[in-house]
Structure 1
Amino acid sequence: MKTLLEVSGVSKSFDGFKAINNLSFAIAPVELRAVIGPNGAGKTTFMDIVTGKTRPDEGQVLWGDMSHSLLRLSEAQIARAGIGRKFQRPTVFEDQSLADNLTMALKAPRGPFRVLRWKPTEDSGKRIAELADEVGLGDRLHRKAGELSHGQKQWLEIGMLLAQEPQLLLVDEPAAGMTLAEREQTTTLLRRLAETRAVVVVEHDMDFVRRLNCRVTVLHQGSVLAEGSLDHVSANPDVIEVYLGR
């Protein structure tokens, strides 16, 4: 199987606590994956390592066809390489319109003179409209982001990540705080996005994970406890013991 991201033998300790313990993980260029596990399982540290926020004590994080090491890159370089991360709490510019939020996120040269001279074009306007449509907000382009519901802000932030044309999306607990209708729309959105790129969803809500209908990786004490379909991992005695409960 062709691999987009490969995490191999990675470990990370904080003040003697091993948050990640010989973790290995791989995902294909076009795949939807759910990562679940109890609090303290290492899910956030895993994402921190992949995005360059945290450096592991040992192991490799390889990226792309040429298996480049991400450990040599800064957070900004990793983002430019094609990895986007959405945190649990949406971070959008609430006093700006949806169109302005998406405009600021568009992939473009970021030098100071380039930014000062940048002007919207017909192509950029078309791209902004496409992004808004893709996340189900095409009819709200000129509304302020602060007027959106919690779920809509989550979709806007996903749209802002898509503006960077990522090959891998890391999405942290997207269902938290959403209405049932928003959750269903988010499931549809994530499944559709995974038709053209890799999407990793870190989630606690097992009903939401079931709706994603994808391969599941269970983390425990910083390493992979089980992997497979949700039905497969849910039947694993170790997963039942440490996460699902008897």
Structure 2
Amino acid sequence: MSTLLEVDSISVSFDGFRAINNLSLTVPDTGLRAIIGPNGAGKTTFMDVVTGKTRPDSGRVLWGDGAMNLVGLSESRIARLGLGRKFQRPTVFEAQSVAENLDMALRNPRNPFRVLFAKRTPEDRTRVEAIAEEIGLVSHLGRRAGELSHGQKQWLEIGMLLAQDPRLLLVDEPAAGMTVGEREHTTDLLGRAAKTRAVVVVEHDMEFVRRLDCRVTVLHEGRVLAEGSLDHVTSDQDVIDVYLGR
């Protein structure tokens, strides 16, 4: 399995506070990775650096075969390279239908006016229906996104990212506010997505992480504290002391 993303010796400071401290980690081109850690561990800043929202003080973010350093590139340029990010709070077009949300997200060569007014092609319809089937919303295609439950909106936003065919999907706390059934569906959805791309999930819910059944990275004070299976990291005394014991 080849490396898709390599974060190499990244450091970030905000007004003297070291949010990321010489952080290094790699993400393979397919599969799931969970990132956990206490508040202030650097999880959000890590995602901000990778997606170009925050420029690090030092270090590199290497993409693909390592020939491209993402540091200094714009957020839009990085997104076009194949990085999709889902924030904790779902952001969908609530006045539009599920189908319209997915259609607008399709990775087609359209300018903004064509996105709003172009007619969907048969290929578009087929792709939208396939994504809706994948995320469990095929029976809601004609429904306004604003009428969906919180969990369904989360799935729709994941579907909108999948429509753009990203190589790496960054997902921030997807289980927050979900019912037990919705969390189970979400883990299954992310697991299927990770068969053909890399999926990195930042999460606090340990039961959700356990269901993901993936490699776990624990961050603390902006650096990697432990890595391995969930059982391995949760038995690490340092992890217990700084995170699980709280």
Whether these two folds match at TM > 0.5 is yes
Task: Give the whole-Å Cα distance in 1 for the aligned partners of 2:144 and 2:11.
Answer: 43
8 A Cα contact 2:32 2:214, kept in partner = yes
Residue in structure 1 matched with residue 198 of structure 2 by the alignment: 198
RMSD of aligned alpha carbons: 1.4
Normalised by the size of structure 1, how large is the TM-score?
A: 0.97
Task: Give the whole-Å Cα distance in 2 for the aligned partners of 1:116 and 1:189.
Answer: 28
8 A Cα contact 1:13 1:57, kept in partner = yes
Task: Give the whole-Å Cα distance in 2 for the aligned partners of 1:181 and 1:108.
Answer: 34
Q: How does 1:94-243 map to 2 (within 5 A)?
A: 94-111=94-111, 115=115, 118-243=118-243
Shift of 1:154: 0.1
Shift of 1:67: 3.0
Residue in structure 1 matched with residue 15 of structure 2 by the alignment: 15
Residues 53 and 149 of structure 1: is their aligned pair in 2 closer, same or farther, counting only changes over 3 Å?
same
Task: Give the whole-Å Cα distance in 1 for the aligned partners of 2:111 and 2:138.
Answer: 30
8 A Cα contact 2:55 2:72, kept in partner = no
Structure 2: gaps (5+ residues): none
Residues 139 and 2 of structure 1: is their aligned pair in 2 closer, same or farther, counting only changes over 3 Å?
same
Q: Which moved more, 1:10-19 or 1:107-116?
A: 107-116
Runs of 4+ that moved beyond 4 A: 112-117
Q: Does 2:72 correspond to 1:72? A: yes
Shift of 1:94: 0.7
Task: Give the whole-Å Cα distance in 2 for the aligned partners of 1:125 and 1:133.
Answer: 12
Pairs aligned (count): 246
Cα deviation per residue 1:58-86 (whole Å; 9 max; x = unaligned)? Answer: 00000012531111321001111000000
Identity in percent: 71
Residue in structure 2 matched with residue 50 of structure 1 by the alignment: 50
Residue in structure 2 matched with residue 5 of structure 1 by the alignment: 5
8 A Cα contact 2:102 2:128, kept in partner = yes
Cα deviation per residue 1:134-178 (whole Å; 9 max; x = unaligned)? Answer: 101011000000111000000000000011100000000000000
Q: Give the counterpart letter for 1:191 in structure 2.
A: G
8 A Cα contact 1:109 1:115, kept in partner = no
Q: Which moved more, 1:106-115 or 1:35-44?
A: 106-115
**SS of match in other structure, 1:26:** strand
